[in-house]
């Protein structure tokens, strides 16, 4: 099966994988609000090989979040391949995505993530092994390079394609940049010209005009949204409407709070109240960004310890009748 075949017709805006963010609950919400494709948080191939229960649970999928990829990281081709095969048998993902773009020091120290881009031969071996192990599309998420002096994304993209990759996802910043600076749209365009598989552009897309600009300047096939979707899953519908020249209605405060309530409720349901509330605080603070007195509400959010206190926070927000100052 080709990568394009699993994507719903007309859907060109995807949810990027983000550690600690794109769990099952968030993926389901993103799909409901227009994401054409979503990816899991990074999953350690080594942990899967040890059959770590928490990691296996992290890779579980529901029918409400498809099409969905499980993203693996690691530096051992055989372990990556065996873990991909195991996940395919237990979770039935639509795609296996190989992480070659994470800039986190703890990932790079183990020679995984974007550190792999310093070893083109190893990149080939990992993709080739994983591709031979599974019968679903295999994609690779890369960065522009390790730093500006080693911006080898085009080379790595071509190598991954030759190894069997079915699509290339490119976050057009270097490891050195992390998430600062502007994405290099020219690099995405170069990769699009260099490979024959679909190219997915990623980096600093915050709204419809940003997405349209990336499509126009790079000719990429799809775009991927990361940080701008935190607290704002509505962004997928917003961008879809912009790209199709369809009117879009921004959600009211009441609608935003109802989605936030569902989000946090399900995090507590799946993870337990203690862990769910603590992991939800990042999302809660993002949902209330843009409200009048947002700093006051964020301070309250950071202090909640259980779901009942979260419901009290929602009541406090809804009793504050001033409208949104700005759209997210």
Q: Which residues are annotated as catalytic?
A: 102
Contact 69, 111 (CB under 8 A): no
- Interatomic CA distance for residues 268 and 258, integer angstroms: 15
- Interatomic CA distance for residues 63 and 38, integer angstroms: 12
Up-side HSE of residue 187: CA atoms within 13 Å toward CB? Answer: 26
Query: Strands of 222-225's sheet, edge to edge?
Result: 13-15, 222-225, 199-202, 167-174, 138-145, 95-100, 68-73, 38-44
DSSP secondary-structure letter at 16? Answer: P
DSSP secondary-structure letter at 168? Answer: E
Q: How far is CA 114 from CA 40, 75, 81, 91, 98, in A?
A: 18, 11, 19, 26, 11
Whether the bond between 258 and the residue before it is cis, its omega within 30 degrees of 0, is no
Residue (of 127, 71, 113) closest to 94 by Cα position: 71
Quote the distance between the C-alpha of residue 188 and its chain's center.
Answer: 18
Residue that has been written with the tokens 């775009």 in this structure: 223
């Amino acid at each position: 099966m080709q990568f394009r075949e699993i994507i719903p017709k007309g859907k060109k805006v995807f949810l990027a994988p983000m550690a600690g963010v794109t769990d099952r609950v968030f993926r389901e919400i993103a799909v409901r609000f227009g994401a054409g494709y979503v990816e899991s948080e990074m999953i350690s191939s080594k942990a899967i090989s040890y059959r770590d229960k928490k990691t296996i649970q992290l890779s579980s999928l529901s029918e409400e979040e498809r099409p969905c990829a499980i993203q693996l990281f690691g530096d051992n081709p055989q372990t990556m391949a065996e873990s991909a095969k195991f996940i395919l048998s237990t979770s039935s993902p639509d795609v296996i995505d190989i992480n070659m773009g994470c800039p986190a020091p703890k990932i790079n120290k183990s020679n995984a993530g974007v550190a792999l881009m310093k070893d083109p031969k190893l990149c080939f071996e990992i993709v080739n092994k994983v591709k031979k192990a599974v019968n679903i599309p295999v994609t690779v998420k890369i960065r522009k390079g390790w730093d500006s002096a080693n911006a080898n994304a085009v080379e790595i993209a071509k190598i991954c394609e030759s190894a069997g990759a079915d699509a290339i996802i490119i976050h057009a910043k270097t490891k050195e940049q992390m998430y600062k600076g502007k994405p290099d749209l020219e690099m995405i365009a170069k990769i699009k010209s260099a490979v024959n598989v679909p190219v997915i552009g990623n980096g600093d897309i915050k709204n419809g005009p940003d997405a349209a600009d990336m499509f126009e300047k790079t000719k990429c096939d799809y775009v991927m949204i990361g940080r701008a979707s935190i607290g704002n899953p509505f962004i997928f519908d917003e961008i879809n409407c912009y790209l199709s020249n369809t009117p879009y209605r921004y959600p009211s405060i009441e609608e935003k709070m109802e989605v936030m309530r569902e989000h946090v409720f399900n995090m507590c349901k799946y993870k337990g109240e203690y862990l769910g509330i603590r992991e939800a605080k990042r999302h809660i603070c993002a949902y209330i960004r843009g409200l009048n007195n947002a700093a006051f509400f964020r301070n309250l959010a950071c202090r909640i310890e259980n779901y009942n206190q979260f419901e009290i926070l929602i009541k406090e927000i809804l009793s504050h009748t001033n409208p949104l100052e700005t759209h997210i």
